[in-house]
Amino acid sequence: MAEAPVARQAPNEGADRVSMSTILFSIRHLIGALLFASLAVSARAEPVKPYKDALFRYSKLLQEADGGDFRVVDYQELRDINERDQIPERRVKRAYVSLGVKSVQVNETLGFGERGLDVTRVGPDRGAAFTVIFIHGRGGDRRLGANDFAFGGNFNRLKNLAVVNGGTYYAPSVRSFDAAGVADVSALIRFAAERSGGGPVILSCASMGSFICWGIARQEAAVSALGGMMIMGGPADPDFRKSAAYRARLPILFSHGSRDSVYPAESQVALYRSLRSKAYPVRFVLFETGSHGTPIRMTDWREALNWILDR
């Protein structure tokens, strides 16, 4: 039926039509929002399933506060290095590694602009349920994050956790810890997010590599593609609360050795306390008597990833 001419409308008919139009517009937007929310939920990674948890879980908690978000973990060099490694600090005992994961491990160079980025990738290059990117410290390259036998086998466990849970792991060679290095990693983050179809990306930075994490925290485009960050034995960022990551409330997990002589734990604990006071999503794991490299060896990847993925 054709609409009646405007001249014949009753005095309140125009208002009724405007109201109906507004209601239909609101309904369409509500449906769109619900569909978007359902897609976001469906894209959210499932909890990471156990993998050799009996060997890698924290042995003993010495202190726990803030509802479990601040923990002090017992660390003993004799037990956690000498009894765990076949050759201390060089080769872990065979029980800690599963080498079948190497069948899905490749070295490749990704082309981002005029610069290529060398990476070791473990897992599929598309459709990952989640992605983990590990940034090494000074003097390292992609081989550090791909080493199966060093650091107590912790990287081998991370590889296996990624693969058995449908995820992907990247260990890039970062050429510098300045703006150029940040740009390279930012491109990798966006690349991984796109290839996964929007799955969460977790950026983990160790030691001096943490400068990359803090640089990424200031880039809104990279932050929007991240699900969380991990800072392992790195420096604190006193200006973090001015960053895009802070505004987005990007979850951050810190792990640190209490006797770190390179980057003192006290500075990182102070940053944690500052963020915690603002109800920011943050967690801290302190390894009592641990040194600078302890977080790389001892951080429980499964627990860390599940905490981030659950935020």
In this prediction, residue 34 carries a pLDDT of 34
Angle at CA of residue 228, ends 37 and 204, nearest 5°: 150
Confidence of residue 240 (pLDDT cuts 50, 70, 90): very high
CA atoms of 140 and 136, how far apart (whole Å): 6
Q: Residue 14 pLDDT more than 80?
A: no
CA atoms of 190 and 159, how far apart (whole Å): 21
- Summarize pLDDT for 243-254 with one digit per residue, the tens: 999 999 999 999
Query: What's the mean pLDDT in 199-208?
Result: 98
| Nearest-10 crossing angle of helices 301-309, 154-164 | 40
Q: Residue 1 pLDDT more than 80?
A: no
Contact 287, 258 (CB under 8 A): yes
Q: Residue 242 pLDDT more than 90?
A: yes
How large is the greatest C-alpha to C-alpha distance in the chain, in angstroms?
Answer: 93
Query: What's the mean pLDDT in 259-274?
Result: 98
- Least confident residue range of 93-97, 111-115, 174-178, 185-189: 111-115
In this prediction, residue 107 carries a pLDDT of 98
End-to-end CA, the chain: 53
- Which two three-digit tokens encode residue 245? 């990551």
In this prediction, residue 291 carries a pLDDT of 98
Q: pTM here?
A: 0.86
- Least confident residue range of 28-37, 53-62, 126-135, 285-294: 28-37
In this prediction, residue 214 carries a pLDDT of 98
In this prediction, residue 123 carries a pLDDT of 98
DSSP 8-state code for residue 45: P
Choose among 97, 95, 100, 225: nearest CA to 163: 100
- Which two three-digit tokens encode residue 248? 């987005």
Q: Could you give the percent of the chain with pLDDT greater than 70?
A: 86
Confidence of residue 44 (pLDDT cuts 50, 70, 90): low
Contact 71, 63 (CB under 8 A): yes
Contact 249, 276 (CB under 8 A): no
Task: Work out the number of other CB atoms within 10 angstroms of the CB of residue 279.
Answer: 8
Query: What's the mean pLDDT in 46-66?
Result: 96
Q: Residue 35 pLDDT more than 90?
A: no
Query: What's the mean pLDDT in 60-69?
Result: 97
Phi, psi of 30 (to 5 degrees): -65, -45
Q: Residue 67 pLDDT more than 60?
A: yes
Q: Residue 41 pLDDT more than 50?
A: no
